[in-house]
Amino acid sequence: MEPSPLDPASEPNVPVSVAPPGPRTVVKASPGPSPCPGGTAFGCPQDYRGRRFVYTVVSPRARGLSVGVNMNPDRRCNLDCVYCEVDRTGPPRETVLDVDAMAEELVSVLAEVHSGRLTERPAYANLPADLLRLRHVALSGGGEPTLCPNFAEAVQGVVHVRARGKYPFFKLVLITNATGTDSVAVKESLRYFTKQDEIWAKLDVGSPGYFQTINRPEAGVTLEQILANILALARQRPVVIQSLFPLVNGREAPAAEVERYAQRLLELKGAGAQISLVQIYSATRPIVGHDCSHLPLRSLSQIAQTVRQATGLTVEVY
């Protein structure tokens, strides 16, 4: 058995609530002509439509329309993942998240979504209504959201828009690599999350060596830190694990690495982490600067099966 990077001894275990495993694979098909890469709405880039901070995107993992808040207009991230789609070669158009402007843009986008005007855009014109139903508002963007200097103010701004009640209640999702979720500002801000809101925490690997290969962290960022932060979060509330497995230079992740990854999930579960879902997916949008591509569905399904058998967790493939 692989030695565990987890050290749960500092906190007592708590009961874990995990849905039963199942064979479900989420397969996506194109509903009609699309201007997006690959011919499907799920290959479309984030659509800002002239806005500075808020975008729309049809997301496979959201099962439809996601409205995103770019918490990192400066593209700040402490990982340089080989599959990243963000181009950091030029200067960013914005360097600071203007919370007031973001809130105004969010109100405008919600109005567009709920009025049906979104279908006036070519990328959405031929989509079925179910894919255009708002699934959530995501704190995400061009970097790691928890590194946003005014993270707390941004969360409060989004929550305030929701509290106005002008539009139907929307779920809030934090999409994070979990490196900064132990900061005081982030922990305090997560208190604004309701039981319906979610945290999607990234975990792509099972060993420190492969972490360096795939996620390429900046100095001081470790896999052990990420696992510890996921555990702390998931002891407080259910967490979705998002795991991207790319084809790198024509090669898949080694089988031994997939087994180590499954072992890390099992250790998290055993230490009291409430993992409501594991999302297994691959690169779908154009990659910047690296030879990465989409892993075949058969390979993704095999990874999912390994995780189900090892952990008993609910796993979906995208």
Task: Identify whether the C-beta of residue 103 lies closer than 8 Å to the C-beta of residue 97.
Answer: no
How far apart are the C-alpha atoms of 50 and 96, rounded to whole Å?
Answer: 17
**Could you give the CA distance from residue 151 to residue 159 in angstroms, rounded to a whole number?**
12
User: If you compute the radius of gyration of the chain from its CA atoms, what whole number of angstroms results?
Assistant: 19
Maximum Cα interatomic distance, the chain, rounded to a whole number of Å = 55
pLDDT in tens, the chain (318 residues): 444 444 333 333 323 333 334 444 443 433 333 445 444 455 566 788 889 999 999 999 999 999 999 999 999 999 999 999 888 888 888 999 999 999 999 999 999 999 999 999 888 888 999 999 999 999 998 899 999 999 999 999 999 999 999 999 999 999 999 999 999 999 999 999 999 999 999 999 999 999 999 999 999 999 999 999 999 999 999 999 999 999 999 999 999 999 999 999 999 999 999 999 999 999 876 677 668 889 999 999 999 999 999 999 999 999
Distances (CA, A) of 99 to 103, 131, 139: 6, 28, 13
Which domains does the chain show, CATH number per domain? Answer: 8-317 (3.20.20.70)
CA distance 314 to 277: 5
Provide the residue type at 299 as one letter.
S
Is residue 286 a contact partner of residue 274, using CB atoms and an 8 Å limit? no
pTM of the predicted structure, to 2 decimals:
0.85
Q: Provide the 10 A C-beta neighbour count for residue 272.
A: 17
